Amino acid sequence: MRVINCIFVTFSICLLSSCSLPNSASSPATDAVNSQSSALTSLSDAYSNYFDIGAALNRTQTSGQDPQSIAIVDKHFNTLTPENDMKWESIQPIEGQFTFEGADALVQYAKKTNKSVIGHALVWHEQTPSWVFEDDQGNEASRELLIARMKSQIFALAGRYKNDIKGWDVVNEALNEDGTMRESKWQQIIGDEFIELAFTFAAQAAPKAELYYNDYNLYNAAKMDGAITLAKRLKAKGIRIDGIGEQGHYGITPPLDELELSIQKVASLGLKMMITELDISVLKFPEGENMGADISLNFELQDDYNPYAKGISAESNNKLAQAYSDLFALFLRYEKEIDRVTFWGVSDNNTWRNNWPMKGRTDYPLPFDRSYQAKPFVRTLIKQAQL
Ligand code: XIL
């Protein structure tokens, strides 16, 4: 069994991977890597000539209650994104009541450790309280009211961190898979122009920050064409946009060829490309492995979809290593076009993938395992950068 599995992966990965079954937390191979972990180079140092390497942090981490994650972040990542703490529901849950504690904690930690911060996200249809879209009678807000609220949120949030944040996901997930505009409350009430308004307010509130459009499945040609159309529309009106972020929530077979074409498209427009929320699920999904990241989807937990509750198989572990290696090989080929690669989390015990789109699964999508140990492929990724 072991030998057969190893035949199907590259020699280097097999050498560095766990070929034992199961591998719930740390395997002998993981331990071997980590027993020399002080010798393990930092991921962001290894890639420093090419692009930034980041992670999304949650409140437990930024408030100091998860020192093991912070030890990883200190060493391996040079750019940080708040996983939830700068979303509208975190910043202004009730109209006029701003709560910046979580966001401040992340910015303070980044300053102390000399890491850059990416703001996420100014305008999104998710994790935005319903009051935003309603007037004080509970009816749908008028266009003017919604624009005024968008402006005050952007000025309060992007303005507060105008000297601290390197770039903002200004608009998140405004497109359908076919590249047309999603009919979100923003789009329905304001019209397509909500995009122009969001980027204009962000440029005014944080003139030094880079401004990005961010979405999932932008490897899909039709969807990327929609994003390119948006960017061209902004540019034609003299409104600044600096980059496009592909979230990068993939399944075990990332869409490498399509992704390559999409990177080329962004580059041809003179925009920066970033992979903003990278994780690779080893699980199967009700709508196929690269089903995107619509957070409103919620399927009932079925054992059939949760095969590795007690430990990942060696075969899946090897496929995961191969998928990461292939992706980073692609990123390295396009290192001039790619500005940043951010993982959506630090270790497997704290990833949103354990709960989306089914609550309570056990997934293994990140470079660090449930015992906060670097998986063997981390060393492979580091070696790839050093070739
Ligand atoms: C996710 C967070 O990771 C979860 O903790 C939260 O419950 C839901 O949102 N696309 C995005 C991210 O842009 O903000 C989402 O983050 C994942 C999909």
Summarised one tens digit per residue, pLDDT across range 56-112 is 999 999 999 999 999 999 999 999 999 999 999 999 999 999 999 999 999 999 999
Output the pLDDT for position 39: 80
In contact, 70 and 61? CB cutoff 8 Å: yes
Residue 215, ligand 1, Cβ within 6 A: no
- The closest alpha carbon to 361, from 294, 291, 282, 259, belongs to 282
Q: Which of 173, 210, 246, 315 is catalytic?
A: 173
Output the pLDDT for position 20: 33
pLDDT band at 33 (very low <50, low <70, confident <90, very high): very low
Mean pLDDT of 151-179: 98
Element (H, E) at 245: strand 243-246
The separation between CA 109 and the C-alpha centre of its own chain, rounded to angstroms, equals: 19
- Residue 225, Cβ neighbours under 10 Å: how many? 16
Residue 122, ligand 1, Cβ within 6 A: no
CA distance 11 to 325: 12
Residue 84, ligand 1, Cβ within 6 A: yes
Where helices occur in the chain by DSSP H, the ranges are: 2-7, 11-16, 28-35, 43-46, 59-62, 67-76, 88-91, 101-113, 143-160, 185-190, 194-205, 221-236, 256-268, 314-333, 376-386
Residue 246, ligand 1, Cβ within 6 A: no
Q: Is 298 a residue whose pLDDT tops 90?
A: yes
Residue 169, ligand 1, Cβ within 6 A: no
Q: Is 299 a residue whose pLDDT tops 80?
A: yes
Q: Is 216 a residue whose pLDDT tops 50?
A: yes
Mean pLDDT of 39-47: 95
CA 20 to centroid of ligand 1, rounded, Å? 32
User: Cis before residue 236, ω within 30 degrees of 0?
Assistant: no
Residue 273, ligand 1, Cβ within 6 A: no
pLDDT, averaged across the chain: 92
Residue to mutate, 61, 81, 298, 352, ligand 1, most ligand atoms under 8 Å from C-beta: 352
- Determine if residue 127 is left, alpha or beta; phi over 0 gives left, psi from -120 to 50 gives alpha, anything else beta: left
Burial degree of 229 (CB within 10 A; 0-12, 13-18, 19+): middle
Closest ligand 1 atom to Cα of 344 = 3
Q: Is 23 a residue whose pLDDT tops 60?
A: no
pLDDT digits (tens, 9 = 90+) for 223-265: 999 999 999 999 999 999 999 999 999 999 999 999 999 999 9
Output the pLDDT for position 289: 87
Q: Is 355 a residue whose pLDDT tops 70?
A: yes
Output the pLDDT for position 38: 59
Mean pLDDT of 277-296: 94
Closest ligand 1 atom to Cα of 173 = 13
Output the pLDDT for position 2: 30
Output the pLDDT for position 30: 44
In contact, 76 and 43? CB cutoff 8 Å: yes
Residue 41, ligand 1, Cβ within 6 A: no
- First-residue to last-residue Cα distance in the chain: 32
Mean pLDDT of 200-214: 99
- The closest alpha carbon to 259, from 286, 283, 281, 278, belongs to 278
Please tell me the pTM assigned to this model. Answer: 0.92
Q: Which of 83, 210, 277, 315 is catalytic?
A: 277
Is 95 annotated in the active site? no
Is 258 annotated in the active site? no
CA 361 to centroid of ligand 1, rounded, Å? 16
CA 76 to centroid of ligand 1, rounded, Å? 22
The proportion of the chain whose per-residue pLDDT surpasses 90, expressed as a percent, equals 88
CA distance 86 to 66: 20
Residue 175, ligand 1, Cβ within 6 A: no
Closest ligand 1 atom to Cα of 249 = 18
Mean pLDDT of 147-172: 98
Beta-bridged to residue 351, according to DSSP, are none
Closest ligand 1 atom to Cα of 120 = 14
The residue nearest atom 9 of ligand 1, judged by CA position, is: 295
Output the pLDDT for position 1: 28
Closest ligand 1 atom to Cα of 56 = 3
Least confident of 26-40, 106-120, 188-202, 327-341: 26-40
The tokens for 299 are 């399927």
Mean pLDDT of 134-159: 98
Residue 83, ligand 1, Cβ within 6 A: yes
Q: Is 218 a residue whose pLDDT tops 90?
A: yes
In contact, 343 and 43? CB cutoff 8 Å: no
